[in-house]
Structures are given as structure tokens and as C-alpha cells.
Structure 1
């Protein structure tokens, strides 16, 4: 990965002086860092890590936000044959301690914003012997200061020539059921990602046949580089093609997003549906205010829905390409408006090379129109091993085997996500297997109802879960976050006002009834300030579902 994402460009005189990372932060001037600078700094850091005893295969934790030094950290670790372990800056002490301890990480790389959290748990992680921090204060003890050690280290480093199947990255899944599992990603996985990347970006600016072809492509995504979406769908593929990526070290807001898109002339982006929904509500007609140069938008994590789809087409001038993948098998399904029509709400088709199907409980492909588990075969359409696959879960062979239908070398890998395949091969997301529920005998997928609710001007975001009911088993319940613009438009609109909430609930119920099947409208709506979200921007319906189950038990006790 380090060879194709950095070293080859640093050797190319036409590319070496071009920007690799455009670093931005609140109240700071933007800074441009070239591929030559990325290479030099990565070599210095590799020498520092080597002097600390880091060896091939050792895990090195990277606990940093989007910034130039984070790209340096990944390249430094990868080119020495070690394993980068990204950890979100949003993790609390328990989440950090579990991952650092379980992975047996030997060094942690962080910055001033994450140093205290790492230090608070380092004593509980016996394998962790060194911490290097960017921007640490002089008072910070028991930490190596990035600037000092980098300056003193040699600026050249001999590449460790890893094998395709060697681990490159260890990313822990979100752990919605049980403890998080560490997915080992090999170097070859980047190659498996590339067909999906170029298709989701409509090829413009990312030539799949000749990476030396220059273009004006500029990439930005708010996706955290500590997650698959930010690392494997943004940072690494952008560097693979020798293009610049914008690193925003700050909080996301719709206004910030539009300002970054304009200031850096961003042509390609990856935006979660939650981000697009917020941008749509905050700025309905962005091209009246901002000069945009967008050529492609990719989205993933949740269903985009036709309201956001239409907004991207009409107001941003781009057809959004929805994509689907997982940490373990990333970038496998999606749309490519340049090659085949993107259909609103569809996950798309299997990206070139991958053998994708919807299968039933026995591992057989489902007929058109019947829901099943989205699965990817270990062998690609040519009968060869698909490079997209992870190596397995860290120290958890049982979980690895449970992911497949049979023999690991020749089997389907289940995603746990349900979909329906139509006659044209498009997949339509039905939800996580543990998100779909039955209410009054009807099978309910939450995404369609949530998408319908968001179309209403009052709704900024929504999550639909089953509410246990003694008579019907469950009823449809929606948690709704109201749009601030809607609340501010009239003085009588405020949360906590029973009359206002009752009238709005009736209005939203009529809205859903008029768009969907009668059994899908939410029988109950609860208004909240925010929905529980993962650090990757996905709604945690499981948290709300468990909350409803606990409330049901409490009601039974009181009865």
C-alpha cells in the first residue's frame, strides 16, 4: 500500500511536488503538503518506530483526526510491514482500552486532542510501551514529542516488501452485538477496492487504466480516517491515484462542508446520508450561494432515499452514487451513473469483478423479489480469489468461520444486511437482519419509513424501531429529530408543547400513510434532540430498540 500510495509518486518528478494533503483546521491557515514531503516525513517516522523496536507485523495504534500527520503515520507504518490500527478520536476510555489491549499494540501515535485519553488507559495495556504525540505540550511527560523525534531521524527508509496477503490494517467493527471484533485487512484489499472507487466516482479524474494521467481531481470527505469509509474509501484510494485529499481537522457542519467544497474546488466527495440530509435542510439551494465544482458524490452507511437523491441531482448538479460494503469486504456493491442509471434508493449492483448475490438461510440464491442476505463469493467472476476479502477476525477464528456459508476458500460471505434483487440486477436495501421486524404480522423495514419522514419539511432525521405491544407483538414507532428551520419559522412550534406535538404527529402520520402502505405508518412518534449515532454516522437503531424493550418490561412490572 505504501509503495502505490506514496513512494512511486515521490520518485516521479512530475508528481512529487504536487499536493498530497491539503490540511485545514478552524482558525488556521490552510497548508498544502506535497508527495515529496509526505515521503520524507513517513521515512523519518518509520526510522523512529524501528528504533523503538517496532517489527514487521506489530500493531501500531493511530489515534488521530484528519490531518497531514495522520497520512504520514499510515504511510510510515505500512512501509515498514507493521499493521496500522486506526482508532477514532471520539472513543472514550473503555473503547480505547479494549482495542489497545486486545490488539496488543506496541506504540500509539496521537495528537494533543487524543493524548490524554490514550495516557489514561496506557497502564492497562501492557504491550503498549511508547506514545508519540503531535503538538504535545512541554509539560506532557512519558510521551515522545513528534516534532522532536521526527527532526532527528534519517529522511530515507528502505521499503519492506510485504506480500499481498500480509496484514496491513486492523480495524475494529462497531460491536453492535458483543465485543468489537478486529478485522485484519491485507495489502491486496486496496486493489479489490479500486473498481468500486472509480465507479462510485464516475471515473472522472480517476483513470482506472492509467494512474499517471493527470487531472484536476480533488477529494474530500468528512468520514473519519479511523474508519473503513475514511481510510479505504477516501484517503488511500485518493493517494493511490496521486491526487490531493482535503483533511479537515474540525467538526462537521453543513456550512463548513459547502465552504470546503468551494474553497478547495472539490470535485469528488464521499458524504454519509446524514450529512447530505443536514446539508439539504440547512441550504436548500446551495448554488445560489456557493461556487461548486462537484463531479461525483458517493454515499453509504444508510439508504439515501429519493428526497436526498433528488436534491443532489437538482441542487448540487450531481447524481449521487450509493455504495454498500463492510469493513470485512468493502466497496462491493454500488451505483455508477456513468455506466448504468443510478436508481433512487437502490444499493446498486455488484461492482466489476465481484460475485454478489442475495442468498437465503441455506446459502441458495433468492429469486427476484424475495429478500435475503447480501453475500459476496470468495471467488470473483473469473473464478479467482477475490482480493477484497479480509484475512479474518483478530484472535477469533470461530467468528471468522461463522461469517461464511462453508469452506473459507470457496463459499459465500454473509454481510448480515438484507436486500431484494430486482429483474435488472439492482439491490434494494431492507435493513440489517436485526433491524427488520414484524408488526401486526407485516414485515417492516425501517429505511423506507425513515426516508418518507425525512421528506417532510419538519423532519431533520428519523429512526424507526419496533415498540413491543401485548396484542400485536409490536407496533411501528418513530424517533424524530425536528429541523431547526421548521421550529424557528413559527413562534408556536416548540418541543414540549403537547398540543403542537400532537398536531405534528397526526400530520406526519398522514404524510406516511399517503406515501406508503397503511401498516407502515408510525403508530407513535417520539421527538428527540438527537439520535444515537455510531462514530461512522450510522443511526444506532439497536440502542432505541433496547430502550423500547426495557420500557415495555417496566410497564409490565408496574401493571
Structure 2
């Protein structure tokens, strides 16, 4: 059976459980506003009417540069109903970045926060874009609403619903085109993987313009009739308190925010009793165990990307392990391919993760106006099966259980031995006095390449010494994986969801 559209999924949810709680929004002042599904649908329909009033038609793009707020959610759902294409971007984008985005997608209308309206206006003026500035608070839903009934639009499964710009940790972002059918499928698949029910509540503190919050939290909540607690900003020191006050049961995070939460949470803070926590990217065992104690459940590592929609793998074993992304999940078909030989790697050896699926349904449709990049991303085998080349490496540790290694260019050869910079980072971040770390590759005339570490201290006034870090690494890392240089820096350049932008740390070193 075809999955149908995301717009139909929302309509079916409204028809079946209009009185069920849908959204709790915690504003920056701590106030909390609540909407049932039925109440929020009123806001969605008013938003759709607003879009129609400013000329948005089926197929048009709607550019959204908003922080986490109810209007973001309403605009997303209104775009689904209108057959429009949401283009969510980092609200802190520079004028230059905004100009590039607007020239690429040519939206019919734009939305931004009032605090950043001057920057947005400067980017919008050259293309003559109409834009609406919002307070990014609960009050926006009163402002967003035309006094007319929204039009009835027939949308199709293959219609674009979003262009998601990838994080751009090693290069400029690409625009992944996501369809109505994509969103519906990710909603249904992810709700089943988690076993989501109406009594559950997701805690969304990561930015809404990123795939994690949309794919893993909001979409499956709609499929299951669950609720979502949304905060205006991520607060490491207030994360645990917020989870308790908003009575959440589920959360999804990256490793970097988890380390920040551990570093900033008061030791006197009472522990939580969550039912489920996803995390992505490498997390050292010490941090894994401390976070499990703090939230009341061991976090489970998953692997997925913007282009895969639903996750590819997840550690769903009875006792999850910090280094494992587990087995394929949600009916996925996955294979590992040695990037050099094109054959399956030996057990324990890294191979590129390739994921089978259907473009526009279980895999993204294409990269925006980039046919060459799209052609490189997909491969069709002799049986007619489409495979996505992820560019990420994993190793089979046995019985089909996978361990994430890193991006293909994050694995270096040190005197002939494979070293994952991602794995070294997770270990170094556990060193005494270290808050977070990034590890880069530096050419070496003897070993081909060596790791170089950049660390941010917990206490800038008393950073760990190079001698102490070297001694610690001798006890905790294999010889090939030990950094040959140590640099203490104030902060790491990161994407808005915490991924390290390695190429911005030391321009003198090669990308990767």
C-alpha cells in the first residue's frame, strides 16, 4: 500500500483524537502554553489561510528562519496542507547565507524572528521577497491567521514538502528534497520502532529546522497521537529540570549536548525516570553511564541522516552499549562496502554504509538543483534496487551488529592502521578537565598521518596541561590513536545541533 501524504496523516489525527494533548511550549521566560490536537489545528488552518493570502500556491517554497516556536510547527503543517514546500534554515544564518538560500529556493514568502529582522530584510530586499517577522512566542499564532477559510488543496505523495539543508560539517550544505510521502513514512516507521503511544511525550530541545526534531520526534508523535514538549532554546543547565517540569517520557539528543548537560547539571538535581532516549554520534562509556543514571534509562544509539528519513540502525538490545549503532531497524536493508575494493569488508573492518530504499518514500528524493550530486548519492544494482551511498563508515562486530566509525574522511591511516577521529574524540572528551574535544588529521612524513587534538577545558582558568593529557592518552588510547599534538582552545565551531565543524578549526590542515 502507498504511504499517502503527510497532510492526510495530520487530518486523520485531528479526526480521531482532537482532544488529545499535542504541544506544550516552554518560552524563554519559563511560561508554558498548551494546545490539544484540535486547538492546534485551528492555528494550522489559519496559517494555511495566511499563506494563501500572500500568494503561496501548491509547489511554492516558504522560507522559515525561526527559532523553536509554535509558529514553526504550524507553518510546517500548513505547508503540508497547502502543498507548499517548507525551507527551514538556521535562524542565526548570516546575511550572506540567507542570500544564497533565497537565490536557490526562490520562496514566495519568508518568516524570521523580530530580533533578526534587519539581517533578514537586507537579504530579502534584492530578490523582492515579502517576509513576516514574528516574536517566536506563543502569541505568534494570533498574528498568523487570515480571516478566511483555507483553500482545499489536493496534494500528492511526490509533492515536495521540505528542502532540508544538511549540516555542512566538512563542506557547504546541500539541499535534500523531502516529499509528502517521505514525512508520512518516517512518522509511521519511527513511531513503531519506539513503540510510541498516546501517553508518551517527546522532549524537543534541539532546533526544529534540523531533521532530528522533525523526523524522530514530531512526525512520529503525530502518527501515534503522542504529545511534544518544545523549548524555545536548548539549556544544558536547565535540561533536567525542564524534562521534569514538562513531564516528558522520551528524548532525542546528540552526543555533544549530552556532554554539555553532564557538565552543567547541578549535582543536587534529582534524577529523572524517562522511558526512552535516542542519541547519535559517539559517546564515551563514562559519559554514557553517567547520563543513563541521570535520566533513569540507558540511552540508545541510532544511526540515520537527513537523506535516510527514518533511522537506518539502532541499538535495541536489552543492554545497549555506547559504541554500537546496532542492527538495521524498521525493515531497512543495509550493506557495508569497502571503499577501496567495492566488496564486503571483513568482520570488524570498516565499510561504507549503503541503504536500500525508494527515492521519495523511504529515502530522500534528490538534492536541490544538483543532478550530479544526486547521481553520486544513489546507485541502482543489477536487480533494480536503489542504494544510497551515505559516505559514513561502520564495522560489523558480529551477528550483524554495527559499530559506527565515522565519515569516510574521518578515518585516517596511521602507519597503516585505521584510526577513527570520531572515536578518538569520544575518548579524549572523557579526560579530566576536558569539556569537549575535536581531533583532526595532520600529514606526517613517517606515519602518513597522525591525530591532532583540540580540547576545550571545563575550567578556562585551570586548563589541563599537555603533559597530563599525553599521560592520560597513554592509558586510554592505542598507540596509533594517541594525538601527537594538543591544543587548548576556547570553544569548538559547531553546527546548531552540536556537530563539530572540523574544517573551521585549523585552516592549515586538510579538510576532514
State if a TM-score over 0.5 links the two structures.
yes
1:282 corresponds to which of 261, 264, 273: 264
Q: How does 1:38-57 map to 2 (within 5 A)?
A: 38-57=40-59
Q: 1:192–1:363: structure 2 CA closer, same or farther, 3 Å change rule?
A: farther
Specify which of 181, 199, 212 is matched with residue 174 of structure 2. Answer: 181
Three-state SS of the structure 1 residue aligned to 2:220 is: helix
Of the three residues 10, 28, 41, the one matched with 1:6 is 10
Q: Which has the larger radius of gyration?
A: 1
Shift of 1:79: 0.4
Gap change, CA 1:479 and 1:177, over 3 Å in 2: closer
Aligned to 2:330: 352
SS at 1:546 equivalent: coil
**Inter-CA distance 544–439: structure 2 relative to 1 (3 Å threshold):** farther
Query: 1:18: which partner in 2?
Result: 20
Query: Deviation digits for residues 410-443 of structure 1, max 9, x if unmatched?
Result: 2321111111112121111211112222233332
Q: Which residue of 1 aligns with 2:252?
A: 270
Q: 1:449 to 1:219 in 2, by over 3 A?
A: same
2:94 pairs with 1:133: no
Offset, 1:146: 7.3
Report if the CA contact (8 A) 2:176-2:307 is conserved. yes
Report the Cα distance in structure 2 between the residues aligned to 1:281 and 1:18, rounded to whole angstroms. 36
**Using the alignment, how far apart are the partners of 1:177 and 1:454 within structure 2?**
21
Give aligned pairs, total: 502
Structure 2 matches for 1:90-105, cutoff 5 A?
90-105=92-107
1:6-55: per-residue Cα shift (whole Å, max 9, x none)? 3233333xx32333221112225211122222211111121221122211
Matched, 1:342 2:320: yes
User: Is contact 2:454-2:486 (8 Å) kept?
Assistant: yes
Cα deviation, residue 2, structure 1 = 4.8
2:147 matched residue in structure 1: 153
What SS does the corresponding residue of 2:390 show, helix, strand or coil?
A: strand
Give the distance between the partners of 1:284 and 1:444, measured in 2 at CA.
35
Q: Does 1:254 align with 2:240?
A: no
CA contact (8 A) 1:4 1:240 kept: no
Distance in structure 2 (CA, Å) of the matches to 1:4 and 1:91: 32
Rounded Cα–Cα distance in structure 2 between residues aligned with 1:178 and 1:480: 22
The within-5 A match list for 1:379-458 is: 387-406=361-380, 410-458=385-433
* Kept after mapping to 2: 8 A contact 1:459/1:480: yes
Classify the secondary structure of the residue corresponding to 1:548: coil
Matched position secondary structure for 1:42 = helix
Paired residues for 1:37-116 under 5 Å: 37-116=39-118
Which ranges of 4 or more aligned residues in structure 1 deviate by more than 6 Å?
Answer: none
TM-score (norm 1): 0.83
For the 8 Å contact 2:272–2:296, the answer to whether it is kept is no
Q: Distance in 1 between matches of 2:412 and 2:189?
A: 31
Q: Residue 497 of structure 2 aligns to a residue in which SS?
A: coil
Distance 2:49 2:143 in 1: 13
Point out the structure with the larger strand share: 2
Deviation at 1:399? 0.9
CA distance in 2, matches of 1:340, 1:366: 27
Following TM superposition, by how much is the alpha carbon of 1:134 offset from its aligned partner in structure 2, in angstroms?
A: 2.1
* 2:489 paired with 1:528: yes
What SS does the aligned partner of 2:238 have?
A: helix
Q: Alpha-carbon deviation of 1:340?
A: 5.0
Over 3 Å counting, the alpha-carbon distance change for 1:268 and 1:115 in structure 2 is same
8 Å contact 2:206–2:497 — kept in the other structure? yes
Q: CA RMSD in A?
A: 2.6
**In the superposition, relative to structure 1, how do residues 350 and 545 fare at CA in structure 2: closer, same or farther (>3 Å)?**
farther
C-alpha deviation, 1:176, in angstroms: 4.5
Gap regions ≥5 residues in structure 1:
137-144, 208-213, 380-384, 488-492, 496-500, 551-559
Q: Aligned equivalents of 1:548 and 1:469: distance in 2?
A: 12
Determine if contact 1:193/1:232 at 8 Å carries over to the other structure.
yes
Q: Aligned-pair distance for 1:147?
A: 4.4
Q: Quick check: 1:44–1:157 contact (8 Å CA) kept in 2?
A: yes
Q: Which residue of 2 aligns with 1:210?
A: none
**Post-superposition offset of 1:167:** 1.4
Work out the CA distance in 2 between the residues paired with 1:424 and 1:149. 53
| 2:31 corresponding residue in structure 1 | 29
**Cα distance in 1 for residues equivalent to 2:39 and 2:170:** 42
Q: Secondary structure at the match of 1:41?
A: helix
Shift of 1:219: 1.0
Gaps of 5+ in 2: none
User: Which deviations, in whole Å up to 9, do the C-alpha atoms of 1:48-82 show, x marking residues without a partner?
Assistant: 21122211111111211111111111111110111
